Structure 1
Amino acid sequence: MSNNETNSIRLQAKRSHNREHSVPLYLTSSFLFEDAEQARAVFADEEEGNIYSRYSNPNVDELLTKVCALEKAEDGFAFSSGMAAIFSSMAALLKAGDHVLSARAVFGSTHQLLTKVFSKWGITFSYADTAAPEQWESLITPATKMIIMETPSNPGLELIDLEWIGELKRKHNLILAVDNCFATPILQTPADYGTDLIIHSATKYMDGQGRVLGGIVVGKKELIDEIRFFARHTGPAMSPFNAWVISKSLETLSLRVEKHCENALKLAQTLEGHKALDFVRYPFLPSFPQYELAKKQMKQGGGIVTFAVKGGFEAAKQFVNNLQMISITSNLGDTRTIVTHPASTTHSKLTEEERAATGITPGLIRVSVGLENVNDIIGDIVQALDVIV
């Protein structure tokens, strides 16, 4: 099966003797062996089999099989959260003295890992600006081992040309890790461009209903083997229940993402030019600075719209407080539309200078556009803006 919609529905764990149509929950901490010899053989990797749910579990295996198919990846591991996936991928593959080249526009917690955690272990990093591709190669040193990036970025929606970055990593023999959370494999597949690791916060669009936490890394088998070893012995594994929930959610991922994109584009088109806003950003708006790149590597523009309210933080706060239907929370990718003010929440731990460098202005608003009737979404946002004009 090669079709994404079919893979996300039909790739299921092996059925039990009960012949269930939908995979059951395997809520067990450990698994039995027929005898002492089988236990020895499974622990010695001479025979396949589950040992302990921190290592593997049928629900987790099913989820990973689906995501690997969607992302055209060889292998994967599922984590308790998206940040556990990012941390473990880097910690498993880097050592003291290594250098990381990162896009400047990364999630706030990824920034904290680079600046506050890995720095204690003798791992250094450099930030490169998305808008200055000529800068990237100049920052690569003999110690550089990995490139890590998001496209589109959170929250500024900055894009990186996956074809170009793939060529750069091959030229310098680096590991390329791409956070594909915002686009999902429905809209783009980084593996097509030579990406080694694809990372997801499965909490977002993969679950899509704000219920459970999860993180996934898929990619080249030799790298996943190292990540699996690290994760098995440090313990950040996804629970069987969360894997079961997310696996079932993948059955509707393509339908949901398509609708998220349709609603987001209509919202962006409506808001563009509103007198209360300095700008509206959405990858499939012709006014988007990287519109041609977005059309080249994404099938649709995604479910996130950002805009800047005139008047800075106070005006942005007034807008948020004026909302009547839309949720105010820090999650995204939900069926319900969500508004976030990044400067005071998700990216508040960055300095003012660091936020400015990634385009996070005091008036910036991130909208995760949900699946409600688009006229209701637009109506709530427009009325909240009209009050502050």
Structure 2
Amino acid sequence: MSHLQAVTYHTVTAISSKQWIELECANNAYFSPKFLKAFEVSNPNINFKYIVVNQNSSAIALAIIQTIELSVDVILKNIKLANWLKKLAHSLFCNNSMKIMTNGNIFLSGEHGLYIKEEASKIKTLGTIAEAINNIAKHTKSLHAIVLKDFLKHSLKLTTHFENYGFTEMHVEPNLILELDTNWKTFDDYKKDLKSKYRVKVNKADSSSNSLTARLFTEEDFATYKEELQKLYENTIANANFNAQVLNLDTYIHLREIYHDDFIVKAYFLENKLVGFLSALANNNHLDAHFIGLNYNLNREHAIYPRILNDYVRIGLEKQVSHINFGRTASEIKTTIGAIPVDLTCYIKHKRPFMNRIIKFIIKRVKLKEFKQHHAFKTKKEATKAS
């Protein structure tokens, strides 16, 4: 009978090259040592750990652990709860911050925290990881909660086993995904498949942003505009529904050095003043929108954000990817360019059994904020009629 053993490392560089070769996960950027190191070295306020599961001395799985502190207000900002339940949550945590340990990448939405080799016994390996996570939590002082984040629907038949280790299922806001039709070779091809009113919106975003000068940033530009990029980014996350942590944009410098043209930062200038930017990573035939930044005072007049969304589509077409992951903020406007919501599920627990029962009680009463979903593309019947 094969023996599984979990080993916890406190830095990604402690994982040996032999283990990375055995894992065979580095072709996915989010599980590559260089990507993980870029986040680790640039964000010292976050405590990083890595669990490697070995089977008969060979690495078969990796779990990424990040521990941060969040205010109770930030956590409650994006969920619908009765006022008395919000007051209860504040009283339980004395209106202070909470220390939260996360399996996943706190800066990105999606399955970026857990990797298990295809040939491994999934349930046994997941159980070994869950036990290791619980053991880390046991030895982490002042820890309030553990979150295993962002699992897609097809993963739930496996991840539901986390409930055997004290975790409670929690639905979170969906990712917004745009599938790119293989017939789209240009942005005009994409627009032709939009319904008339959405094509008008896309065209208006481009025409209203004509005053902007856009260019792709180089490594030298990162150094020149670092402080302005950071300010625009922090301005944007301050307006977001939920913000787990502020990313140090030094991370971008490292990612650019690693991924070159596959890590994209496009900047927007108005009369030589930086007023917005987008960032994205092309990874395994898909494009992931990372953080953006913009000047909200100028956004309405110059359509900075709608232009950013248009340009994500353009970049995806240029990179010839199969889909674009827009993340999970500003859901409604993203559906107007054709993105559709894809459900995500997290698992949560408190290290104390009594508190865990209260958390379960609260989670069952949580309602996600609703948004209007637009259906931007023509139906087959409409497309046939138009042609």
The two structures share one fold, judged by TM-score above 0.5: no
Report the TM range for the smaller structure's normalisation: under 0.3
TM-score by length of 2: 0.27
TM-score by length of 1: 0.27
* Greater RCO (Cα-Cα under 8 Å, separation 6 or more): 2
Relative to total residues, which structure has the larger strand share, 1 or 2? 2
